[in-house]
Amino acid sequence: GQSLEQPSEVTAVEGAIVQINCTYQTSGFYGLSWYQQHDGGAPTFLSYNALDGLEETGRFSSFLSRSDSYGYLLLQELQMKDSASYFCAPGGGSGYSTLTFGKGTMLLVSP
């Protein structure tokens, strides 16, 4: 079967660093994506890890360990606008692939 675990809520203050963990168990795993969704908005793509290791994109980094079925999203220098829900989504990597979205982690950034 498939399972996906990420924390339901994380709180932090502006300027801090926060890590959102994701553990998964899926069939036909290709990689791990992360999406951001602001309240009332559509999910938007943040990052994709096909290989083990760290991918950095500005203030955001994403990590994958395929052997541990584990990944995380690291957000640095938090800003108020980072308050949103963050979804990890294993899958992707082939033409007919789908993504399995978790329930999401709501990040609340306070002043």
Partner 1 sequence: DVKVTQSSRYLVKRTGEKVFLECVQDMDHENMFWYRQDPGLGLRLIYFSYDVKMKEKGDIPEGYSVSREKKERFSLILESASTNQTSMYLCASSLGQGGETQYFGPGTRLLVL
104 interacts with partner 1 by CB under 8 A? yes
**How many CB atoms sit inside 10 A of residue 49's CB?**
21
> Which span (9-17, 41-49, 58-66, 76-84) binds partner 1, by CB under 8 A?
41-49
**Nearer to partner 1 among residue 15 and residue 41 (C-beta):** 41
Per-residue exposure over 62-72, b if at least 16 CB sit within 10 Å of its own CB, e if not: bbbeeeebebb
Residue 48 one-letter amino acid:
Y
31 interacts with partner 1 by CB under 8 A? yes
Which among 26, 38, 21 is positioned nearest to 99, based on CA atoms?
A: 26
Provide the minimum distance between the beta carbon of 81 and partner 1 in the complex, in angstroms, as a whole number: 19
41 interacts with partner 1 by CB under 8 A? yes
Which among 110, 90, 94 is positioned nearest to 16, based on CA atoms?
A: 110
Q: Given the rule CB under 8 A, which residues bind partner 1?
A: 30-31, 33, 35, 41-45, 48, 50, 87, 92-104
